[in-house]
A and B are shown apart, each in its own frame.
Chain A
Amino acid sequence: MASRKQKAPIVKAPPPPRLASSALAVCALSWLVPGVGHLWFGRRQKGLVFLVMLPLMFAIGIALKGRLFSLLPLDLGDPLVALAALADLGAGLVYFVAKGLGYGAGQVVAVTYEYGNAFMIVAGLLNSLVVIDVYDIALGRK
């Protein structure tokens, strides 16, 4: 019986799971504490700016009597609140610390209420962009 040599199909190897998992771990750390991911990868200047500016924006939002939105109880009738809560959560650890300490109740009658909301929501969204940047750095894309 004639034996035929079969070539093994060329399969592109996926990225090593360790690299992907460690990148996700650094991203999680960077989400919790803004700028830590950049500091981890030696981008000191960027890391320090994020470490100072993002919690500062969040603190200004609380000082302006903004409200920390919560996902729970989930109210599908008010999707903007859920979206604002997701954005607020992007700020990471400061969100939970502020919640735990009882800040962020929000004063709807305060003139600065909406400004406070804007500061906290944008701080969370900017931190989400920072986390995405960390992921790109971790995978060697930047």
Chain B
Amino acid sequence: MALHSHILIMAVFAVCVGAVAGVLLKDEVREQVRTGGAIAGGLVGMAIVVGWLLYFLPL
């Protein structure tokens, strides 16, 4: 399967969740895109931030 990259899988997951949540929460297309993009971006951004924070923790 092509999805071997962890970050790619995470990005696909974030886009899927953002698309569904944006469409579910808002009625107008422009707002749906904005909300979905914010959710997807937030998921990816938070994952990267938390990932870096965990990097500094000793195992």
Are A126 and B9 in contact (CB-based, < 8 A)? no
Are B17 and A64 in contact (CB-based, < 8 A)? no
Instruction: For chain A, residues 37 to 63, give those with C-beta under 8 angstroms from any C-beta of chain B.
Output: 45-46, 49-50, 53-54, 56-57, 60, 63
Please tell me if B38 contacts chain A, counting CB pairs below 8 Å: no
Instruction: For chain A, residues 100 to 128, give those with C-beta under 8 angstroms from any C-beta of chain B.
Output: 111-112, 115, 118-119, 122, 126
CA distance A99 to B9 in the complex (A): 24
Instruction: For chain B, residues 3 to 51, give those with C-beta under 8 angstroms from any C-beta of chain A.
Output: 3-4, 6, 9, 12-13, 16-17, 19-21, 23-24, 29
CA distance A4 to B36 in the complex (A): 65
Of the residues B1, B16, B17, B21, contact of A63 by C-beta under 8 Å:
B1
Are A53 and B3 in contact (CB-based, < 8 A)? no
Are B13 and A119 in contact (CB-based, < 8 A)? yes
Are A118 and B16 in contact (CB-based, < 8 A)? no
> Which residues of A lie under 8 Å from residue B19 when comparing CB positions?
49, 53
Nearest B residue to A123, CB-CB: B16
Nearest A residue to B19, CB-CB: A53
> Which residues of B lie under 8 Å from residue A64 when comparing CB positions?
1, 3, 9
> Which residues of B lie under 8 Å from residue A126 when comparing CB positions?
17, 20-21, 24
- Knowing A115-B9, A119-B13, the reply to whether A130 touches B1 (Cβ < 8 A) is no
> Which residues of B lie under 8 Å from residue A57 when comparing CB positions?
13, 16, 20
- Knowing A60-B12, A112-B9, A115-B13, the reply to whether A50 touches B20 (Cβ < 8 A) is yes
Residue of B13, B17, B19, B20 with most partner-chain A CB within 10 A:
B20
Interface residues, chain A, with chain B CB atoms under 8 Å away: 45-46, 49-50, 53-54, 56-57, 60, 63-64, 111-112, 115, 118-119, 122, 126, 129-130, 133
Interface residues, chain B, with chain A CB atoms under 8 Å away: 1, 3-4, 6, 9, 12-13, 16-17, 19-21, 23-24, 29
